[in-house]
């Protein structure tokens, strides 16, 4: 029995080491850059990091990222001046674009069509509208030099806050224990493919075993509608609050949104109050191919092409550039 236990432990240990090596050699697990909070309490990536983002068990999506000196994933440095024409894209992971090679990002696609402009992508996973406006407000001197700013917004989850606060749960990912775990590519890989979910759920169940269970209350259609309406009003109020608190230049700023998932109340408010927006819903709807990745809901290369085309067309429509 002792021999069985000792040999089993030894085999498991050796297999784990070899698997760690194989995951590294074939680059099955993703790299995660380090994040930090700067002097303005803006959360961003530590500058000058490189790595690879991987999705799927078998590297179904594999792309390289490069964090520039400003702390965002981009092939270029952000050096706005009065002489050049710049456009900033501000948003969450969709703008951040870890799912595509940094040298083939939305910004680069726009630049390929309009070579005379520089596109700065201020994308960061989890940024909501409060994060975005706080960033623009904190770096006002830089953003004042940028000729046009496009802010990506998803109505249902980007307007849950009325003012900016540091998101500690995201920064907790930089805790010593998480940093240590991230050193094992095998753990990162196993976590990304969901193999560690059952043990995590079990731990959660065990921790909460003695906690009284919340009673689930059945909600009827009228109640659902009431909650939806309440949320829509709250999100609209949050939008107003954020705009008034951090400032919003209606001439230079444009929202990027999908009207299919945006409240008509919000759209009507934007239109009545002169907030410009780019709605990419029609081009996504008429697309003959999938616009998202296999393994997650982020835009694939085709989706990004559509977004770049929409932005380019918009810039032409407002005569931001000639031709």
Partner 1 sequence: MLFNSLDFFIFLPVVFVLYWFIFYKKIQVQNLFILIASYIFYGLWDWRFLFLILASTVVDFFIGQTIYTNDSTSKRKAWLWVSVIFNIGLLGFFKYYNFFIGSWVDFLSVFGYELKSTWTLQIILPVGISFYTFQTMSYSLDIYYKRLTPTKNFIAFATFVSFFPQLVAGPIERASNLLSQITAKRFFNYVQCTEGLKLILWGLFKKVVIADSIAPIVDDIFLNYNDYSASTLILGVSLFSFQVYGDFSGYSDIAIGTAKLFGIELMSNFKFPTFSRNVAEYWQRWHVSLSTWFRHYVYIPLGGSRVSKLKSVRNIIIIFLVSGFWHGANWTFIVWGAIHAALYIPVFLMGRNRIYMNTVVAENRWFPSLTEISQILLTFILVTFSRVFFRSESITDAFGFLEQIYANFSYETYQHPLGYRMIDYFILLGLFVLYEFRIRRDERAPFKFKSKIVRFVAYTLVILGMLLFFDDNIDRSFIYFQF
CB of 8 or CB of 175, closer to partner 1: 8
Residue located via tokens 């520089």:
118
Task: Identify the burial level of 276 via C-beta atoms within 10 angstroms of its C-beta, where 0-12 means exposed, 13-18 middle and 19 or more buried.
Answer: middle
Q: How far apart are CA 323 and CA 317, in angstroms?
A: 9
Q: Identify the CA nearest to 66 among candidates 34, 98, 42.
A: 98
Question: Binders of partner 1: how many residues, by CB under 8 A?
Answer: 27
> CB 284 → partner 1: shortest distance, Å?
17
Fill in the per-residue mask, 18 to 37: x = in contact with partner 1 (CB under 8 A), - = not in contact.
xx--x-----x---------
Site string for partner 1, 107-136 (x = CB under 8 A): ------------------------------
Site track 187-226 with partner 1 (rule: CB under 8 A), x = hit: --xx--xxx-xxx--x------------------------
CB 57, min distance to partner 1, A:
5
Pick 251 or 289: Cβ nearer partner 1: 289
For partner 1, the closer of residues 144 and 201 by Cβ is 201
Q: Specify the residue, 197 or 271, whose C-beta has the smaller distance to partner 1.
A: 197
Alpha helix ranges (H) inside 172-263: 176-182, 185-192, 197-207, 221-246
Q: How far apart are CA 262 and CA 227, in angstroms?
A: 16
Give the x-and-dash track for 66-95 against partner 1 (CB under 8 A).
Answer: ------------------------------
The strand pair at 35-37 and 43-45 is best described as antiparallel
Residues 6+ apart with CB under 8 A from 108: 75, 119
Q: Report the residue number, 4 or 222, with the smaller CB distance to partner 1.
A: 4
Q: For residue 46, what is the DSSP state? A: P
Nearer to partner 1, 76 or 298 (CB): 298
Stretch that binds partner 1, among 50-58, 68-76, 170-178, 263-271 (CB under 8 A): 50-58
Residue from 15, 172, 219, 225 in contact with partner 1 (CB under 8 A): 15
Per CB under 8 A, does 14 bind partner 1?
yes
Among positions 48, 50, 57, 313, the unique one binding partner 1 when judged by CB under 8 A: 57
Choose, by CB under 8 A, the member of 6, 181, 237, 294 that binds partner 1.
294
Backbone angle region of 160, left / alpha / beta, with phi > 0 → left and psi within -120 to 50 → alpha: alpha
Query: Which contacts qualify for 24-31: CB closer than 8 Å, 24 or more apart?
Result: 24/185, 26/59, 27/52, 27/54, 27/59, 27/62, 28/54, 28/57, 28/58, 28/59, 28/185, 28/189, 29/54, 29/185, 29/186, 29/188, 29/189, 29/192, 30/54, 30/55, 30/188, 30/189, 30/192, 31/65
3-state secondary structure (DSSP) of residue 36 = strand
Stretch binding partner 1 (CB under 8 A), from 2-10, 95-103, 139-147, 304-312: 2-10
- Residue 57 or 79: the one with the smaller Cβ distance to partner 1 is 57
Phi/psi for 251 (5° steps) reads -75, -35
Where along the sequence are the contacts to partner 1 (CB under 8 A)? 1, 3-4, 7-8, 11, 14-15, 18-19, 22, 28, 56-58, 60, 189-190, 193-195, 197-199, 202, 290, 294
């Amino acid at each position: 029995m002792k021999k069985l236990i000792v040999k089993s432990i030894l085999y498991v240990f050796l297999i784990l080491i070899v698997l760690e090596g194989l995951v590294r050699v074939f680059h099955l697990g993703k790299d995660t850059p380090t994040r930090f909070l700067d002097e303005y309490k803006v959360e961003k990536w530590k500058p000058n990091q490189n790595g690879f983002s991987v999705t799927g068990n078998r590297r179904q999506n594999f792309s390289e990222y490069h964090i520039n000196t400003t702390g965002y994933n981009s092939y270029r440095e952000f050096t706005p001046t009065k002489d050049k024409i710049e456009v900033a894209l501000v948003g969450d992971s969709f703008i951040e674009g870890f799912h595509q090679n940094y040298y083939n990002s939305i910004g680069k696609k726009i630049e390929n069509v309009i070579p005379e402009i520089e596109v700065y992508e201020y994308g960061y996973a989890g940024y909501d509208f409060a994060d975005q406006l706080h960033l623009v407000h904190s770096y006002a001197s830089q953003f004042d030099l940028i000729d046009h700013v496009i802010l990506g917004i998803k109505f249902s989850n980007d307007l849950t806050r009325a003012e900016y606060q540091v998101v500690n749960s995201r920064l907790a990912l930089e805790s010593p224990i998480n940093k240590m775990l991230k050193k094992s590519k095998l753990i990162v890989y196993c976590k990304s493919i969901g193999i560690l979910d059952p043990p995590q759920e079990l731990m959660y169940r065990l921790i909460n075993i003695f906690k009284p269970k919340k009673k689930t209350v059945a909600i009827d259609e009228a109640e659902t509608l009431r909650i939806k309406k309440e949320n829509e009003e709250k999100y609209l109020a949050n939008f107003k609050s954020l705009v008034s608190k951090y400032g919003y230049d209606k001439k230079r700023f444009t929202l990027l949104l999908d009207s299919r998932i945006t409240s008509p109340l919000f759209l009507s408010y934007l239109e009545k109050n002169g907030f410009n927006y780019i709605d990419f819903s029609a081009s996504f709807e008429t697309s003959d191919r999938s616009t998202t990745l296999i393994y997650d809901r982020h835009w694939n290369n085709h989706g990004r092409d559509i977004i770049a085309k929409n932005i380019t067309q918009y810039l032409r429509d407002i005569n931001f550039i000639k031709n």
